[in-house]
Amino acid sequence: MRFSLGSRKLSLKARLIWSYLVILGIGGLATSMVGSWIVSSTIMTQARRAVDHDFATARTVYEQQLLALKLPVQFAASGATVQQCLASGDWRSLAAYLERIRQDAGFDFLTLTDARGGVVLRVAQPGRAADDASSSGVVKAALSGKVAAGTEILPAGMTLMAAAPVEATGGGTLGALYGGVLLTGN
């Protein structure tokens, strides 16, 4: 038997127990780390999917709102009533017709411009006219002959807005009809 003063030999039983504990510790630590990574990545993937879904839903709702604005504006602008009232100068009938459109569509405002974008009739504020709406992107598109809708920033606040060209019977654009809903406070 050899005895050294500085070292003690462990019995076989103690070595086996010690080895078993080391293996369990390393295995448990590795399992915990892998498990934490899997749970973390799964949670992040689900969160990303939820955010993507919410954005897609919001985009769909936004596009549906714009379509709901475009259709009544396009209908009113393309009908004969607006052209006939403009040709005859019957502002009272035109204002009454457009006010019905505004109320039925749920617009906060509905405005008619001339071919250059100058306001000729504001349905919600009939006495206020002669200002210029040609700087609005959707009005510009309508004056160029396209139906358009989008989000605009106006002095009263952010709005969802749609515009359509009012075309002359012989061709050309008489002006634009635009309306919208204020998002401020909504």
| Single-letter residue type at 155 | P
At residue 91, the pLDDT reads 87
Alpha helices in the chain (DSSP H): 12-78, 80-88, 91-105, 137-143
**Under 8 Å between Cβ of 35 and 42:** no
Query: Any idea which residue has 């906060």 for tokens?
Result: 108
| Distance separating alpha carbons of residues 181 and 105, to the nearest angstrom | 10
| Distance separating alpha carbons of residues 139 and 76, to the nearest angstrom | 15
pTM value surpassing 0.85: no
**pLDDT block averages, 10 residues each, the chain of length 186:** 54 86 91 92 94 94 93 92 85 92 93 90 72 86 91 84 90 90 78
**Under 8 Å between Cβ of 185 and 75:** no
In degrees, rounded to 5, the angle at the alpha carbon of residue 148 between the alpha carbons of residues 142 and 151 is 120
| Distance separating alpha carbons of residues 157 and 160, to the nearest angstrom | 10
Query: Any idea which residue has 């515009």 for tokens?
Result: 163
At residue 154, the pLDDT reads 78
| Distance separating alpha carbons of residues 126 and 91, to the nearest angstrom | 10
**Under 8 Å between Cβ of 77 and 166:** yes
At residue 126, the pLDDT reads 59
At residue 13, the pLDDT reads 84
Residues in contact with 150: Cβ distance below 8 Å, sequence separation at least 6, in sequence order: 66, 137, 138, 160, 161
